[in-house]
Amino acid sequence: MKLNFRGLFPNSCPGSFTPEELCNVITLEDDPLVCLELFNWATKQHRFRHNVSSFHITIKKLGAAKMYEEMDNVVDQVLAIRSLGTEALYNAMIYYFTEARKLTRAVNIYKHMMGKLDCRPSITTYNILFTALLSRGKEFVHQLHGYVLLLHVNDALRLFHQLGVVYSCLPDSFSYNYLIHGLCAQGRTNNAMELCVEMKEKGFIPSVKSYNSTVNSLALGGELDQAVNYLWEMIENQRSVDFITYRTLFDEICRQNRGEDAKDLLEKLQEKRLLGEGTYRDLLHGIEGNFRSSWFGARFRIFKFWLLRERSKMEEHTDSSRPRAAKEAGMQKPVVKIWQCLQELRASCACPKDLIFKAMKQVALHKNL
């Protein structure tokens, strides 16, 4: 069907109308498809040439209707005319491409604008671009956070490394913090440490969550000295240490039979007034409990070794003709001594009850020979 819009320009001379008149007609038209048809029809008219006004209104109508593919064709026509362009026209093109999430296209138009002498970028131009770029950065950060929450840390790392190369969007502190926490949660402490170093080199300070995750992960991995170093760095950067981090660190130090080191660290923290009274008391009780547990465990292993040694000696040197009752009587002496020791420990509450009951159960097996 051949369209004829000649009746829309009654005041024009036959065979001619101006771009301004076309702009007025398109402005009054609400249907973007009709606006596009008007624009294309006018393009085919003899001796008609579009100017800034007709291009501008058509791009606005198509962009507002999210007809980005059709708008892109009109923009190509604008860029093909080097002498054509105003700041408002180029800002409109950049704005609607950012709305379409076509940031590469928007940046290319900005570069084209930089090469023109009569319409240089303004504050409005930069505001449009910066707003779009920041918005895109937030989208990537949310996506990265989603990967970490789903424990798809490898996918998060892939997106992280593509931010600058593929998407021209540099990672921010949130990106680093999400990844460090996710890597620590998976026990990938070395990867987390590498990101932490890179983050600090770029001037970012890890968050409370990142520091706590790193200290916990290092402590659980046996890297106690490094964990303590990060603890002090965390405090210097005014990041608060949570109770779980303190407890994990002190438990692991005690687990390696370094109870005195744990007490020294606790006292240093208390001297600097970094711990509340309740926290200090709970941590001190935890250290003392771990110390008693390790002390008791070591002593009981010695008792058990001694018992087995005595039993072995008796089996080797006892005459085979000796009555079984005499053998058993000889075995009961060391067992009874251990049993009495355990009962004294139980009565004095010097060791955790569960450990004492466990030891008594093992000794009872030998006692009832």
Mean model confidence pLDDT for the chain: 78
Q: In CATH terms, are 6-132 and 135-250 the same topology?
A: yes
* Measured distance CA(1)–CA(30) in Å, rounded: 21
The token pair at 125 is 């131009």
Span 198-215, average pLDDT: 92
Query: Looking at the domain covering 6-132, what would its CATH class be?
Result: mainly alpha
- pLDDT higher than 70, residue 8: no
Pick from 56, 61, 142, 68: nearest CA to 99: 68
Sequence spans of domains, the chain: 6-132, 135-250, 302-367
Higher-pLDDT residue of 305 and 103 is 103
- pLDDT higher than 80, residue 312: no
Between 75-89, 141-155, 336-350, the lowest mean confidence (pLDDT) is in 336-350
Span 118-141, average pLDDT: 77
pLDDT at res. 192: 92
∠ Cα 92 94 100 (to 5°): 105
pLDDT at res. 368: 46
Confidence of residue 350 (pLDDT cuts 50, 70, 90): very low
Q: What percent of the chain has pLDDT over 70?
A: 72
CB burial of 3-38 (b: ≥16 within 10 Å; e: otherwise) equals eeeeebbeeeeeeebebebbbbbbeebeebeebbeb
pLDDT digits (tens, 9 = 90+) for 50-65: 999 999 999 999 999 9
Region 135-250: CATH code: 1.25.40.10
